[in-house]
Structure 1
Amino acid sequence: MAPHRIFILILILIHFFNIPSFAKEKKNTLKEITQISNEALKDMDAGNFEKSLIKSRLALKYAIAINDNNLIASVYNTIGANFDGLAEFDKAFFYYKKGLLYANKTNNDELKNWLNNNIGNIYCFDKKQYEKGIFYYKKSLEYSEKSKDSMQIVFTNLNLTWAYFDIGQFEKGFPHLKFINKYHKKHGDESTIVALNMLNGMYHSYKNNPEKAVVFFQNAIKLGTEGNQKSDLSYSHYEFSKFLLKKNDYENAYKNLELYNKITDELNIEEKLNKANVVGINLQIDEYKREIDKIGNDYKTKESILIQEQSRNKKIVILLLGILLVLSILFYLYSQNTQLKQKNKIKDIQSQLQQNTINASINGQELERKKIASFLHDNISALLSSAGLHLNAFTSKNHTNAEEIIKTKAILEEAHDQIRDLSHELMPTLLARFGLFYALEDLCEKNSNSVIQFNYYIVVPTKTRYNENFEMKMYFIIMELLNNIIKHSRATQANLTIQENNNSLQIKIEDNGKGFDNDKFYILEGFGINQIKARINNLKGTILINSKLNSGTTVTIEVPITYQKKITTPVFPSQ
């Protein structure tokens, strides 16, 4: 064995011995980081931004260490949300952007949705760059629709409506408002009901529907007051005051503007208090440091154990150098296996070539059958008819009824009839003119007699037409199977059932004949089944034959339908 191949195998074994313990450690570390990240989220939701930031940064450190893009992006989003809550919008924007960079490397559409939405919020409500904000809102909507998050779809549509209305583009915002009005009751959130009423009020103010506008504005103010939703309540007072000012109701406009200023001042005070709380981080940092150090020491201990285990595995690899003979045998077996796979691949190719040859032969037979039928009908039959007409003209003109002429006419008529019957057998007129289902119905009627009755059941409209070659192939497959029943089954009754399902034609042929043993079916002769199977394989279909002695036979066929090519006519909108 070549030395470089032995070296490669040794490296593979080193990897094999190292992977299980490393994977286990990584799994445990991931679980711990996720737990820290979840605790940070809980602290943020409770308004403990200081604790949340410390835990988030610890989780971020370890997430970067194990290179988990999904976790890194999630933690960046949490850090950004904390600064958002502290009204540190520039910092929030920075971390949201970093989070989106890592989220785009994952398949986490829900996380991409949140990050795009948060960036859109900052562009619209802090930076006042509405065009960029709307771009990120639309990206957020795209991801929420991909993840099928109904509540988030409603929420993002609301943000888009607000952004468009804020810059006076009411017609662009209206489709999103219309969507929210339709689905908010089913998928919306109580926290957005105030904003929804305010937006409806703004739209009706724009459309100069004062009665509706007043109802929506008053409803928004009422719900905002009851739910203590100060931010949306302040905007509701502000937009209502603008509406009242437009209606020259200066007194009430002033009152609502005064309420807007009052609530806005309260919100500003709360914002300043939140910023002041950041200073409190230093007072609590010692307490949290102990907690962080404990987690960090645990992580380092596990890392040390992992290094020791890897070192031990490397020593094991040294022993493997003494069993090169075993590796040589393994390589030999591998080579043999590769050769066997190549041989099997060659056999598959040969089998495919054989199948292609059979398919070409079948297609050629069908084409020749069609050509011969056409030639007999259009040429030979026409010639015989012409000869008969000439004889009739001759006898009429010469007033003779010689026996030889009478016999000649009879022979010509018999030949004409036989040519016609042969032409119809090769290519039935009903099949060519009216389609597969009329032809099969006629076939069942022709084959029915006092000995055997063929019943025809179809759940597809009889006038349905498919591709001409498809109909021809299916007709002769079914005809061959019916002939087999007549010749071999000794049945008194047979059923032909046809239906469509998922663009496939399903055919079931049953008889009450003598049947046969399925296990010995391969030794039976005269059934022409191999030819039938080859035709069905050519159509990419399946055939299943089920039979029992003295219990009849059932043949089930399913073939993908080849439809006729349709010429579509363009539809012009009505004027």
Structure 2
Amino acid sequence: MPLKHLFIALFLGFNFFSFTILAAKDKKVENNAEAIIKEAIDLMRNGSYEKSLIRSRLGLKLAICSKDNNLIASAYNTIAANFDQLSEYDKAFYYYHKGLTYANKTNNDILKNWINNNLGNIYCFDKKQYEKGIYYYKKSLEYSIKIKDSSRIVFTKVNLTWAYFDIDKFEEGLPYLEYINKYHKKHGDSTTVVVLNMLNGMYYNHKNDKPKAKYYFENAILLGNEGNEKSDLSYSYHEYSKFLGKNGDYQNAYKNLAIYNTLNEELNSEEKKNKANVAGINLQIDEFKREIDKIENRLKSKESILLNEQSRNKKIFIVLLSMLLLLFFLFYFYSQNVKLKHKNKLKDLRSKVQENTINATINGQQLERKKIASFLHDNISALLSSAGMHLYAHISQSESPSQEIIKTKTIIEEAHDQVRNLSHELMPSVLARFGLFDALEDLCEKNSNSILNFKYSSCVERKTRYDEDFEIKIYFIIMELLNNIIKHSQANQAKLSLKEDNGSLQIDIIDNGKGFDCKKFHILEGFGLNQIRSRLTNLKGTMDINSKINLGTSIKIIVPITYPKKAINPVFLSQ
């Protein structure tokens, strides 16, 4: 194994071992924190608020060290709930907010539900900021619905109804009241029965339904006296007193108000007693608060350093990944480019092979044409001429030649003419004797008629001769293009023009026919244009076609001229 790879493997192994130890330690701390916070909650429920606060403090320290947001939020919520029970609402308010900050980083919807509800209580009943209180109640209701806790839904809607009714927004609170009236028996509990009757009394008082309002208020007071919840009972007396005063029963209104004041004084006395009990630990709590803030700040600082390190590592990882991806894409595009070049090379080779095959076929055809034409002219035609002459001599000497002899002479003459014509078609004698320009002029004259007229024009001297093979190829290319005009163009005028330009022969063929769509040039197989292009490519020439529907066609050919090779005279050495 290379040293570099060995070092990386050892580094990763060491990190894994370290993380395993740290994880085990964190798990132990987390378990301790969880147990201590649970103990603090049990102490709070039993009324041992001072002991609960001390255990909560220790649980919070351990929770912060374990970096478990769920435990941190639970510890803060327990501390806040203790202060809430001790009527230290400002401290409770502070710790509830701290707890909610951490709870929002978790998926613990039950804890979020409780904290939001308790913040709503403080905003509504201590700070009298009902809009904020209603906001937190509604957040609590969202979580109650999310966790599908029917009893919590009823409980939270009771608080929302009370908050709306306390600020005289009865119509906004009515949907909640209707819900709890419908579902309280099934999902509610005894702690909210007094409040439910009081809320119904408040609503019917608002609606001026005196019998129902009186019934619900008196029922709330009756149930409140049977229970131990003085605060709900005192509120019931207070609201009943307002109802009686509104309806002119001032004497009973005063009595109920007096009872409310008595209960309120008792509650205030208990609150003062609780405050006196916690006065001794307030200094400790403030010191604890400062200590927790220091721990949090240290952890935030470490967390910030860790985040910066993670961010740096992330950037390095992203750079390395980007480089790998870039290399991958470069390699991919390079390989694709190589494949494409190879494919194009094969395509070019196939095209050249095909082109060479076509040219070889055409050259072979021309050579065969030339041989056959020469054979027909020099042998068959000569034999037929000789046979005809012998027959003519025989007929001249005979006084009365037979009909068969005369018919034979006629057949031989006709065969001679057909052989001559075929010889000229295969290889025009004008082309062989007089050259390209006389042959092309003769071709235009032969193809002209009353329907289509071919005009011939040349700036080159008629007697100019080129290489024999070059003249044959150019002749048959032009002949093919003129045949296309005759077969396909439906033209009545066409023109063939030739001129020399810088060692090249320029050929222009123009007609006024129906034209065609140049975009569909590749499908015009019947025109033989691909073969003509292939022939011109072999001659290193070019062909440009310009055609429009109903506007005729113009073809320009430029091909380098091949001149005849000069004969080398033999040199005789004298003795």
Q: TM-score, normalised by structure 1?
A: 0.48
Structure whose CA Rg is larger: 2
